[in-house]
Amino acid sequence: MKLVERFLKYVKFDTQSDDLTNLTPSTPGQMTFARELEKELHEMGLSDISLDDNGYLYATLPGNCDHAVPTLGFIAHMDTAPDMSGHDVKPRIVDYQGGAITLNAEQGITLDPAQFPELNDYVGQQLIVTDGTTLLGADDKAGIAEILSAVEWLQQHPEVKHGNIRVGFNPDEEIGLGAHHFDVEKFGADWAYTMDGGAVGELEYENFNAASAKITFKGLNVHPGSAKGKMLNAQRVAIQFASMLPRWETPEHTEGYEGFYHLIGMEGHVEQATLSYILRDHDRARFESRKHEIEHLCNKVNSEFPGCATCEIKDQYYNMREKIEPVMHIIDLAKQAMELAGVTPKVQPIRGGTDGAQLSFKGLPCPNIFAGGMNMHGRYEYVPIPSMEKAMMTIVQICRLAAAK
C-alpha cells in the first residue's frame, strides 16, 4: 500500500479521544482503528503482533543482519485531538501554487498564507487538506502511515540491512495518557522515536515540564436584594484570582523556552466556581515556581476570604532532556538520517508534550521526529506529501545507519 493511500484510509477512522470517560482507550473508535491496524500488520507479515485490551498495538519487523544490532522502536498515536471533530473527515489533495486555498466555499473557509505564512514554504508541492469542517488527523496518522510505509520499504529492499524494528501504536496521547499503559519491557527496544512532530526537519528532545491546576472557589448565595455584607460571589473571586496571574505569561505571548499559565476551562455560579489551568516551563526550577505561585495566590485569596479557595495541582510529565543527554548518539543518528533523506535537521524544544517524554522517564529514551502535519488540532490542518515521504525515508535511514554502526 502506498504512503498517501495509507494515510487517506487512516483519517477516515474517527479516533477523537475524550478525557472525561476515564476509560482506556477513552473512545471506542480508537480500538476499531487498532483492530484495523492489527489486521494490516498480519497482512504485511510482521511478527510478535499483539493488541491488548487497552488498545496498545505492538509488532516486529525481524532484522536481517548477521551481527548484533540494537533493537529500534518507532511509535505513533492513534487518537486525534478533542479540540475539533474527527468524524467524517473529507481529505483532498491540492497542487499548491500559492495564495489562499478554498477549503469550503459554502462556509467561506479558506487556508490563507496571510494568516498561515508557513504555507509559502510549500509552493509547488501537493498538500492534503480538509474540507474545513473537521481536523485532518495528520497528528498522528501521518506518523502511523510513515512508520508502516518505511517497514514495507525495508521488506521490499532486503539488500538494506537492519536490526529488529519494533513498531508501537497507542491511544490517548492527546489527553496526556498515551504512555500510561505502554509496556516498555514488552516493547523491548533499546531506544525509540515518536513520529509525532510537525514541519519537515523537526527533531526534538526537549519538552515542557507540565502540570495541571484546578482551583475551586466556594461562595455564599443570598437574595441580591439583601446581600450586603453576606454574599460571597465565587465567580467574582475566580475572576479576581485569574487577574492576579502575570498577564504576559500566557501561550499567546510566549515562544521558544518561555513558559506560561494557560486557562483552559472555567465554570461556575455564585456558590461555586472553578478555574482549570495547565502550567508549562522547560526549566524545572521555574516550573516548580509556577506551581508555588498558584498556591501562593490561593493563600492570598483566603487571607481576604477565609476558606474560599482550594487548589489541586498534578504533575503531568517532565522535560525528557535529562534522559536523552546521556544517550545523545540517538540524536546524532537521527540528524545523519535526515541529511541522507534530503532533510535539514531543525533541533528545537517542543512547546508541548509527547509520549516520548513519559516513555523516556519509564526507561525508553524516545526523542521526537517530524511527521509533517501543520496547523494541527483544527480545521486548517494540512500535511505536505513530500514531508511525509521524507519522514518515511528518515525512518529507513535510521534503521540502516543503526545496523551499519
Active site residues: 79, 173
| DSSP H stretches of helix in 117-272 | 138-156, 184-187, 234-244
Instruction: Give the separation between CA 71 and CA 188, rounded to whole angstroms.
Output: 7
Contact 276, 314 (CB under 8 A): no
Burial class (CB in 10 A: 0-12, 13-18, 19+), 142: buried
Side chain identity at 106, as an amino acid letter?
E
Locus of grid cell 498534578: 314
Q: Which of 157, 194, 130 is nearest to 324 (CA)?
A: 194
SS3 state at 339: helix
- What is the CB-side half-sphere exposure of residue 69 using CA atoms within 13 A? 23
Q: Which three cell numbers stand for residue 173?
A: 496521547
DSSP state of 117: G
Which pairs from 280-286 meet CB under 8 Å and 24+ separation?
A: 280/208, 280/209, 280/210, 280/351, 280/352, 281/208, 281/209, 282/206, 282/207, 282/208, 282/209, 282/257, 282/319, 282/349, 283/209, 283/257, 283/259, 284/209, 284/318, 284/319, 286/259
Query: Residue 248: what are its φ and ψ, rounded to 5°?
Result: -90, -5
SS3 state at 388: helix
Other Cβ atoms less than 10 A from the Cβ of 19: the count is 12
Helix (H) or strand (E) holding 199: none
